[in-house]
Structure 1
Amino acid sequence: MASQPQAAGEWRGAAALVTEPPCPPAATGSRIVVRTSAGQVAGERAAGVCVFRGIPYARPPLGPLRFASPRPPEPWSGVREAVRFSPVSFQAAIPNRPVPPGSEDSLYANVFTPATTGSRPVLVYIHGGGWQAGAGSMPAYDGTRLAERGDLVVVTFNYRLGVLGFGLHEDLTDPETGHAANWGLQDQAALLRWVGDNAAAFGGNPDDITVCGTSAGGATAWQLSLLPGVRPLIRRLISISPSHTTAPGTALTPQDSRTAYAALAHRLGTTVAGLREVPAGALTDAWTQLFAPPPGDRIVSSGRWYRGPVVDGRTMPAPDHLLPTPDVPVLSVHTSTEGSFYTGPASPEPLPAPRDEAELVRAVREVLSLAEPDADDALARACAAAHRSAAREAGLPGDPRSLWTEIWGDAFFRHQIVRFADRHARAGRTPLYAMEFAHPALPPHFGTPHEATSPFLFGTHRLPQFAAAFGDGPAERRLSDVFVDTVAAFARTSAPHTAHLPEWPPYTPDRPSTLVLGGPGFAEVTRTPKLAQLDFWDAVGWSPRL
């Protein structure tokens, strides 16, 4: 049963119970200095929390350090100002997503903390963007509200992206570490080590780190929890809307990655090792051009949609579905219509929505071919028919756009998220809690798209660019507060239980229970919605096969 509505003023998070001042007593904008492992940094008090921006967690990966494992930051003397965000990581432009000027000198962290004293849980947030875009400094990820209300130390950061961050080639082997792949994933591991060394300086407990991420960040958070080198640092995992990397859809095979980097070097008139000396803009442009043709016309057959971490046996020992399930408590979150991110007006891959059955079959075949190159019209018709039948039985819309949206979301997100939860429930030794975020977007957006969670987790739905899509009334503020409280409770106790939620048991094979947050009932624990839609993907052995 859903919890009863309360007045907005009655909703209080964990931060309301904290008795010490949220920052050292000082006026807003006052300077706050702490000592990190590399030197002193000066942040500022803002909106009730202490904020430190642009702290180096690794040496700039420039020149000979391009395609190298991250190195510890160079120590400095005196006090380094930490009041401005660093540049975003160098990245290619993506349709409908304006990108500020980027830089290879981007390996910096941002810390939001209620106080620099104490020993709070730490939440490390990994931004998404398909392993090719984004930044920890984006407005959606402002950690102020999450830190203040949740009484958490919140860390956001940048990592290397695209051709500079995710790939594999032995000619790029780092002579010091032997690594030759997934430099962005290595950055994330380095950030976690930096947090372990420095959390106490910011009022955090280095033995109480929760790793959280959305989309590509949710997938790599899962991968980090399986890496022996950083697993001891991770106490809990929050994986939001991940698309686990699997060739050919969301990763290159090792051989295809070798082929791609060799082709890139040939196109630029150099060797693979010589790619370290090519200007970043030329390198990124050439990589974009290499993957610009339709998937069937490229020189490689994998990496058909996104190009995330590549299996190298070290930084990524194997695809997630072939590795043990994480041995830490898990909060697994997905949205009710993940696919509407790709079929709505701000899609990063804008395509006209199908209007009739013929257009639907063609659109579905194109979606399926991203992971199954041999997908044909027969498979597309079977997929559409299965989803139409499931929609009819559930009383959901069955128009072409709605079906296409559900197929997008199931193919690359919801099917694997639910099946990974099933596997964890069967084979895992820790609890997994499942959540479906269901707050609807405002027209002309529709459904609850992929990445709709971030503005509510961080309380940044209030910003004009997000309020236009998700709203900023009392209901939305209440929803954000409850989401923050839920995540904070999990980061503190390994159970997402708060006074404002109904009883929420861990997910089990015989009781696949999911908290639906933001739907008509506001907060309801129910059998995982739309399970019937997943039968098609199971029947065709959709990858990843669990």
Structure 2
Amino acid sequence: MDATRAQAPAVLPARADVPPAPPVARTTAGYVKGERTGGVIAFRGIPYAAAPVGPLRFASPRPPAAWSGVRDAGQAAGTFLQPDGTGSEDALYVNVWTPSTHQTTARPVLVHVHGGSWSSGGAAGVDGARLAERGDVVVVTFGHRLGVFGFGLHEELADPETGSYANWGLQDQVAALRWTHENAAAFGGDPGNITLVGAEAGGASVHQLALLPVTRPLIRRIVPVRPAHVRAPGLCLTAEDARTVYDTLAARFGTTVPGLRAVPAAELNAAWHRLFSVRPEERPVRSGRHYRGPVLDGVWLRAYDHEQPPPELPVLSVYAAPGLPPAGPGPADEAELRTWITELLRQADPAADRTAADEVLRAYRAAALAEGRTAGLPSLWAAIREDAHFRHPVLRMADRHARAGRWPQYVLELALPAAAHPADPAHPAGPAGPAHPAAAHEAAVALLFGTRGPAGHLAGAADTDGQPSREPTEAGEVLADLVVSFARTGVPRAPRVPDWPALSPGRPRALVLGGAAVARTGALPQQGQLRFWDDTGRVPGRA
């Protein structure tokens, strides 16, 4: 008898009553143990950076401490501090969903950057299991610093190691992307095929990450959904205003700007939000702005979005169709509508007045009547706000990308009305202006991931008995297939979707998702409204 064979141990058959061993993956900091859920393996709560607390508050992200043994990754971490005081500073973690950790075929990696006006939200609102299983892809979500802790600027907060003194939340995003590139293979993903997906503030973030020299080589494609493109003073603090805010906070707490690192996080968070909860003219910043986005610092944000060249990679841009029923209450009367329009215009031009608001209202009312559309106050307000904040910048950026001609740009119009949404907690109603309802960006995220968003709804139409119709499910399946196809091949294709050409100069066509046909191609609607913003220059979109 062969001695080698004689000494070989017997292979015992697997016992049906013994569960399989928990899946384990090896990251750069140590081993992690996930859990099988349906057809995927979920790894939750993996640190991608050290907790930004104590001396690391307002510091560039540091690598997480390595661990020995196997770390349990069965529970997601909490969100970063929210406007209502929930959450904590210790929130720099990633969640990963993968069909398998084996690398028989490396899978595309989809990294989701959450929205929330740079001051709310988190990874907890998105579950990547369905998309990972349906598309055979690896899905990554993560949390990052928000509000006063994440998006500001002050030279007295310079990091002694990196010299950076601004945009800590954007630096966290860079760190999470680097972590994904370094660890994708451990979860069966292809580190050379990473696609970024983000909505609203997250959509602006994926655009910025695609332009940064340190991260551009790590990204293959991007899918910005209704991005809130950064511009001052409407969608970011100016550097001067940021310094004023931190000086004001330091004075109120009786400390220096570096001393803000020792202020209890909940108190500092509450004080920051109180500064922006009063009427614009009562705020300490000259612009009177509403939002809290990246600040122009020359390093992490080198220029405003409309001033930078288009990303040198394929882009799939998603925006909300004009003319959708408004989400949330509309203005009570025409006087209130003019007030709301004035406040909206002041986010781009602090000198805007009622005369400018009248000009906008006349143009939109005339366009609606000329095209046979409703000219009711709620519809006019919804169209004006959507175009000024989102549709005009998105489509003008897409035009510019198409004119450059080096990389394909696909444009998708989401034509599903959002179900009733509560007001966005980051933008409360009251003396600061009208509530900003959470709408199309949450609808797109809920559709793509097939899960209920942070507001507890599944966006989409409803049938006559008030129950959700099949249309959102069908549209969500198509959207998921398109995004996965784009991530895998660079070309968005899906069953039930007609041939969809990339955007080209002089041919403004989009894929319209929603309605009886589920998906169809068509010319971009209501171009006259967009030309109004071009002609007045009140909303930057061209460069």
Normalised to the residue count of structure 1, the TM-score between the two structures is 0.88
**2:60 alignment partner, one of 46, 51, 69:** 69
**2:51 alignment partner, one of 60, 71, 85:** 60
Report the CA distance shift for 1:169/1:110 in structure 2 as closer, same or farther (over 3 A): same
* CA deviation vs aligned residue, 1:62-96 (integer Å, no higher than 9, x gap): 11111000011111000000011112111222xxx
Tell whether 2:406 aligns with 1:415. no
**Which amino acid letter does the alignment assign opposite residue 121 of structure 1?**
P
SS of 2:272's partner is helix
Which position in structure 2 is the counterpart of 1:50? Answer: 41
> What aligned pairs does 1:132-531 form with structure 2 within 5 A after superposition?
132-138=119-125, 141-302=126-287, 304-337=289-322, 344-345=327-328, 353-442=330-419, 449-461=440-452, 465-467=456-458, 470=461, 472-531=468-527
Report the CA distance shift for 1:323/1:462 in structure 2 as closer, same or farther (over 3 A): closer
**Which amino acid letter does the alignment assign opposite residue 124 of structure 2?**
S
Task: Kindly tell me the number of residue pairs found equivalent between the two proteins.
Answer: 506
The 2-side partners of 1:362 and 1:256 are apart by 24
SS of 1:506's partner is coil
**Which amino acid letter does the alignment assign opposite residue 489 of structure 1?**
S
SS of 2:23's partner is strand
Native 8 Å contact 1:336 1:448 kept in 2: no
- 1:423 to partner: Cα distance: 0.9
- Identity of matched residues, %: 51
Report the CA distance shift for 1:463/1:133 in structure 2 as closer, same or farther (over 3 A): closer
The 2-side partners of 1:307 and 1:495 are apart by 34
The 1-side partners of 2:505 and 2:390 are apart by 20
The 2-side partners of 1:464 and 1:369 are apart by 29
Report the CA distance shift for 1:412/1:27 in structure 2 as closer, same or farther (over 3 A): farther
**Which amino acid letter does the alignment assign opposite residue 527 of structure 2?**
L
- 1:321 to partner: Cα distance: 1.3
The 1-side partners of 2:385 and 2:235 are apart by 14
**Which amino acid letter does the alignment assign opposite residue 175 of structure 1?**
P
Native 8 Å contact 2:287 2:350 kept in 1: no
The 1-side partners of 2:526 and 2:509 are apart by 12
SS of 2:478's partner is helix
The 2-side partners of 1:81 and 1:43 are apart by 7
- 1:303 to partner: Cα distance: 6.0
Which position in structure 2 is the counterpart of 1:40? Answer: 31
> What aligned pairs does 1:3-42 form with structure 2 within 5 A after superposition?
31-42=22-33
SS of 1:137's partner is helix
The 2-side partners of 1:246 and 1:462 are apart by 27
Native 8 Å contact 2:148 2:269 kept in 1: yes
Report the CA distance shift for 1:292/1:38 in structure 2 as closer, same or farther (over 3 A): same
Native 8 Å contact 2:392 2:541 kept in 1: no
Which position in structure 1 is the counterpart of 2:108? Answer: 121
**Which amino acid letter does the alignment assign opposite residue 446 of structure 2?**
P
**Which amino acid letter does the alignment assign opposite residue 129 of structure 1?**
G
Normalised to the residue count of structure 2, the TM-score between the two structures is 0.89
The 2-side partners of 1:385 and 1:406 are apart by 13
**Which amino acid letter does the alignment assign opposite residue 59 of structure 1?**
A
The 2-side partners of 1:444 and 1:173 are apart by 40
Report the CA distance shift for 1:299/1:194 in structure 2 as closer, same or farther (over 3 A): same
- 1:171 to partner: Cα distance: 0.5
Native 8 Å contact 2:442 2:453 kept in 1: no
Report the CA distance shift for 1:476/1:291 in structure 2 as closer, same or farther (over 3 A): closer
The 2-side partners of 1:469 and 1:28 are apart by 40
Which position in structure 1 is the counterpart of 2:10? Answer: none
> What aligned pairs does 1:69-108 form with structure 2 within 5 A after superposition?
69-93=60-84, 101-108=86-93
SS of 2:310's partner is coil
Specify the structure having the higher radius of gyration (Cα): 2
Report the CA distance shift for 1:338/1:227 in structure 2 as closer, same or farther (over 3 A): farther
* CA deviation vs aligned residue, 1:372-423 (integer Å, no higher than 9, x gap): 2221222111111111122223332210110011111111111100111111
The 1-side partners of 2:339 and 2:55 are apart by 47
Native 8 Å contact 1:339 1:408 kept in 2: no
SS of 1:521's partner is coil
- 1:354 to partner: Cα distance: 2.2
Report the CA distance shift for 1:288/1:137 in structure 2 as closer, same or farther (over 3 A): same
Native 8 Å contact 1:339 1:450 kept in 2: no
**Which amino acid letter does the alignment assign opposite residue 190 of structure 2?**
N
- 1:427 to partner: Cα distance: 2.1
Task: Tell me whether 67-76 or 436-445 shows the greater mean CA deviation.
Answer: 436-445
Higher relative contact order (CA 8 A, sep 6+): 1
The 2-side partners of 1:503 and 1:448 are apart by 28
Native 8 Å contact 1:120 1:151 kept in 2: yes
Native 8 Å contact 2:421 2:438 kept in 1: no
Task: Tell me whether 518-527 or 476-485 shows the greater mean CA deviation.
Answer: 518-527
The 2-side partners of 1:448 and 1:166 are apart by 23
Which position in structure 2 is the counterpart of 1:20? Answer: none
Which ranges of structure 1 fall in alignment gaps of 5 or more residues?
1-24, 94-98, 346-351
Report the CA distance shift for 1:30/1:483 in structure 2 as closer, same or farther (over 3 A): farther
Which position in structure 2 is the counterpart of 1:533? Answer: 529
Report the CA distance shift for 1:501/1:225 in structure 2 as closer, same or farther (over 3 A): same
Which ranges of structure 2 fall in alignment gaps of 5 or more residues?
1-15, 423-436, 463-467
SS of 2:63's partner is coil
The 1-side partners of 2:479 and 2:52 are apart by 36
The 1-side partners of 2:540 and 2:120 are apart by 24
* CA deviation vs aligned residue, 1:180-238 (integer Å, no higher than 9, x gap): 00000000000010001000000000000001100000001100000000110000011
**Which amino acid letter does the alignment assign opposite residue 505 of structure 1?**
P
**Which amino acid letter does the alignment assign opposite residue 316 of structure 2?**
L
The 2-side partners of 1:233 and 1:224 are apart by 9
